[in-house]
Chains A and B, each alone.
Chain A
Amino acid sequence: MNNSPLLQIDRISIGFRASTGQILPVLRDVSLQLSRGQSLGIVGESGSGKSTVVLAAMGFLKHGLQLISGSVSFDGNNMFELSGKELEKLRGGKIALIPQNSGQSLTPSLKIGTQLTEVLKLHTGLSNDQYMDRIIELLGLVRLPDPEAIAKRYPHELSGGQQQRAAIAMALAGDADVLLLDEPTTGLDVTTQAHILELLRDLSIERNMAMAYVSHDLGAIARVCDNVMVMYAGEAILEGSTRQVLTSPFHPYARGLLASIPKLNDPRLPVALDGRPPAPGLAGEGCAFVSRCAIASDRCHREHPEMQATPGGTLRCHHYKDSERISITGTGAQPARAQATDQMSLVLDSLSISYHIPSFFDSLFGAKQEIPNTVDDISVKVTKGETLGLVGESGSGKSTILKTVAGLLPLRSGSVKTGDGKELPPRVEHRESRQLQSIQLIFQNPDESLNPRHTVAQILGQPLGLYFGLRGKEGEARSIEILRRVRLGGHYMDRLPSQLSGGEKQRVAIARAFAANPELVLCDEITSALDVSVQAAVIDLLNELKKEHGTNFIFVSHDLAVVRALSDRVAVLYQGRLCEIGPSDQVYALPSHPYTEVLLGAVLEPDPDVAPKLLAEDVVELSPPARGCPFQRRCPRRLGSVCDNQEPPWQQSEDRHFIRCHIPIEELHGAQVEDAA
Chain B
Amino acid sequence: MLRLLARRLALGVLTVILVSVIIFAGVEVLPGDACTAYLERDAEGPILEACQERLGLDRPAYIRYFEWIGAAVSGDLGMSVGGNQSVAELVGDRLANSLILAAAAIVTGVPLAIFLGAVTGLWRDRPIDLVVSTTAIFAMTVPEFVTATVLILIFSVWLGLLPGIVLTPPDAPVAEFFPEILLPVIVLAMVMTAHILRMVRSSVISVMSGEYVQMAVLKGVPYWQIVFRHAIPNALLPAINVVALTIAWLLGGVVVIEVVFNYPGLGRMMVDSIADQDLPTVQAIALIVATVYVGVNLAADILTMFANPRLRTQLMR
Residue from B220, B233, B310 in contact with A154 in the complex, judged by beta carbons closer than 8 Å: B310
Residues of B within 8 A of A (CB): 3, 7, 10, 209-212, 214-223, 225, 229-230, 233-234, 308-310, 313
10 contacts between A and B (CB under 8 A): A60-B217, A87-B220, A99-B218, A107-B215, A109-B230, A109-B308, A109-B309, A154-B309, A156-B309, A157-B313
Closest B residue to A60 by beta carbon equals: B218
Chain B residues within an 8 Å CB radius of A93: 220
Q: Which of A71-95 contact B (CB under 8 A)?
A: 84, 87-93
Give a binary string over A108-125; 1 marks a CB under 8 Å from any B CB, 0 the rest. Answer: 111000000011001100
Chain A residues within an 8 Å CB radius of B309: 108-109, 154, 156
Cα distance, A93 to B230, chains bound together (Å): 19
Chain A residues within an 8 Å CB radius of B210: 104
Interface size for A (C-beta < 8 A) is 36
Per CB-CB distance, the 9 closest pairs between chain A and chain B, nearest first, are A92-B219, A92-B220, A91-B220, A104-B211, A105-B215, A88-B220, A154-B309, A107-B212, A109-B233
Question: In the complex, what's the smallest C-beta–C-beta distance from B244 to chain A, in angstroms?
Answer: 20
A106 contacts chain B at the CB level, 8 A cutoff: yes
A89 near B220: Cβ-Cβ < 8 Å: yes
Closest B residue to A94 by beta carbon equals: B220
B212 near A122: Cβ-Cβ < 8 Å: no
Given A84-B223, A109-B233, A110-B230, does the pair A104, B218 have CB atoms closer than 8 Å?
no
B7 near A361: Cβ-Cβ < 8 Å: yes
Chain B residues within an 8 Å CB radius of A367: 3
Closest A residue to B234 by beta carbon equals: A109
Given A84-B223, A108-B212, does the pair A97, B310 have CB atoms closer than 8 Å?
no
Cα distance, A109 to B310, chains bound together (Å): 8
A269 contacts chain B at the CB level, 8 A cutoff: no
Give a binary string over A153-173; 1 marks a CB under 8 Å from any B CB, 0 the rest. Answer: 010110000000000001000
Cα distance, A119 to B210, chains bound together (Å): 19
A659 contacts chain B at the CB level, 8 A cutoff: no
Given A105-B212, A122-B221, 12 more pairs with CB closer than 8 A: A60-B214, A60-B217, A87-B220, A89-B220, A91-B220, A96-B219, A99-B218, A105-B211, A122-B220, A154-B313, A174-B219, A361-B7
A170 near B219: Cβ-Cβ < 8 Å: yes
Question: In the complex, what's the smallest C-beta–C-beta distance from B41 to chain A, in angstroms?
Answer: 52
Most buried by B among A110, A119, A123, A174: A110
B229 near A110: Cβ-Cβ < 8 Å: yes
Cα distance, A119 to B308, chains bound together (Å): 23
Closest B residue to A361 by beta carbon equals: B7
Question: In the complex, what's the smallest C-beta–C-beta distance from A54 to chain B, in angstroms?
Answer: 10
Given A63-B209, A99-B211, does the pair A92, B218 have CB atoms closer than 8 Å?
yes
Closest A residue to B309 by beta carbon equals: A154
Chain A residues within an 8 Å CB radius of B229: 107, 110, 118
A653 contacts chain B at the CB level, 8 A cutoff: no
Cα distance, A442 to B230, chains bound together (Å): 37
Closest A residue to B225 by beta carbon equals: A118
Most buried by B among A58, A92, A97, A170: A92
Most buried by A among B215, B219, B221, B310: B219
Chain B residues within an 8 Å CB radius of A99: 211, 215, 218
Question: In the complex, what's the smallest C-beta–C-beta distance from B310 to chain A, in angstroms?
Answer: 5
Cα distance, A367 to B309, chains bound together (Å): 26
A244 contacts chain B at the CB level, 8 A cutoff: no
Closest B residue to A84 by beta carbon equals: B223
Cα distance, A93 to B313, chains bound together (Å): 32
B234 near A108: Cβ-Cβ < 8 Å: yes
Chain B residues within an 8 Å CB radius of A101: 211
Cα distance, A90 to B221, chains bound together (Å): 10
Q: Which of A49-76 contact B (CB under 8 A)?
A: 55, 58, 60, 62-63
